[in-house]
Structure 1
């Protein structure tokens, strides 16, 4: 998920460099959403991750 957020961010930077502001803003918003979804899933995985069964 983080990989997709970084890819969208790179697409946004390239589009902004070449002057495609509509594409850049859309890709930036997608990158933001994916990054925050990644953060939420990461925190959930840390909290509810694998636990060793009691002996």
Structure 2
């Protein structure tokens, strides 16, 4: 079983598919907020052609 706060994301493009797993801390609302913000940031980076590894994660 995965620890509380574990959230998985995937971003797919023409060339490749990337997946990410994050472990957020905080209460349920905080984890949901962090997950939403991270998902939107991953989408933004994908659409702008930015490298996911430069994000500081």
Classify the TM-score, shorter chain: 0.3 to 0.5
Query: How does the TM-score come out when normalised to structure 1?
Result: 0.45
Greater relative contact order (Cα 8 A, min sep 6): structure 1 or 2? 1
Q: Which has the higher strand share?
A: 2
